[in-house]
Amino acid sequence: MNLRGDLTVTHSFENLTNKDILIKKLIEMIPQLQKRFQSEDDEEKEWLIQNCSNPLIIDFLQDSTVMMLHVIDAIGQLEPVNGTTISKQFGIPKGSVSKITRKLVQQEIIRTEFLPDNKKEVLFLTTPLGKEIFDLHSALHKQMNKGINRFLQRYNTDELLFIIQAFEDTLEASWVHSESVAEKELLTAGAPLEPVEDDEMSQIVDMLNQLDTRNLKKAKVVLQAVFFTPFA
């Protein structure tokens, strides 16, 4: 099936409506998207290394994780900043923030300081080396934004407005508690609901839960651009 062309119904799609076919196709493509995001992490690290002339940073990048770069990015934007703020603002678990910041301090990528009246609250700041990594990572984001902009230029204004609306609706929706109004009325009245096959939806939710904040943003852009557009 060509998503922007005619629908070709295969044997597995027999007895399904066109809408069901499209939903099934979307679900089947989720694992492909996940693999694409994982491969893009490698592409991004390769870009960072290729555009860096500092051997210390190159060594760091070769062993760093995406989450470590996210924490450096958060500190670079908000410094001086505590771990709780990093966790809340960037959606990174507190435990991960604590573990990563300890390692970054040891590597002299970031440093700590304390408030004069509160020695228990640790604030994080970038070192000169960390600032250089932050600037390099910011340059990568600018490069990616240019690519995303070029990609989305293929869609007209109406398509983009539809995509935005679809994602605004998605952000407000719950895949766990997704009963329709009619279903809620039936539940309230005590009427039994027909069995619903939710294994595939659960798989999608599980996959998305495995993505970090940055990759969720990528997922939003890709789903927005590829799937939530009117079909010809």
Query: How is the chain split into domains, by residue range?
Result: 51-153
Euclidean distance between the first and the last CA atom of the chain, given in angstroms as a whole number: 13
Residue 92 to residue 74: CA distance in whole angstroms: 10
At position 74, the amino acid (one-letter code) is A
Q: Which of 225, 227, 212 is nearest to 44 (CA)?
A: 212
pLDDT (0 to 100) of residue 49: 93
Alpha-carbon span 194 to 23, nearest angstrom: 20
Taking CB atoms within 8 Å and a gap of at least 24, the contacts of 15-22 are 22/231
Q: Could you report the per-residue pLDDT of 29-39, keeping only the tens digit for each?
A: 878 877 776 66
What average pLDDT is seen over the chain?
78
Residue 7's contacts (CB-CB under 8 Å, 6 or more residues apart) are 1, 18, 21, 22
Please, which pLDDT band fits residue 231 given cuts at 50, 70 and 90?
A: very low
User: What is the largest distance, in Å, between two alpha-carbon atoms of the chain?
Assistant: 70
Do residues 82 and 94 lie in contact, with contact meaning Cβ atoms separated by under 8 Å? no
Give the residue from 207, 161, 214 showing the smallest Cα distance to 35. Answer: 207
Minimum mean pLDDT range among 86-90, 175-179, 224-228: 224-228
What's the token pair of residue 63? 């062993």
Q: Which amino acid is at 158?
A: D
Task: Name the CA radius of gyration of the chain, rounded.
Answer: 22
How sure is the predictor about 6, in pLDDT bands with cuts at 50, 70 and 90?
A: very low
Name the class of domain 51-153. Answer: mainly alpha
The pTM score is 0.62
Cα→Cα distances 125→11, 88, 110, Å? 58, 17, 6
Distance CA 45, CA 1 (A): 34
Amino acid sitting at position 202: S
pLDDT attached to residue 104: 96
Confidence tier at 101 by pLDDT (50, 70, 90): very high
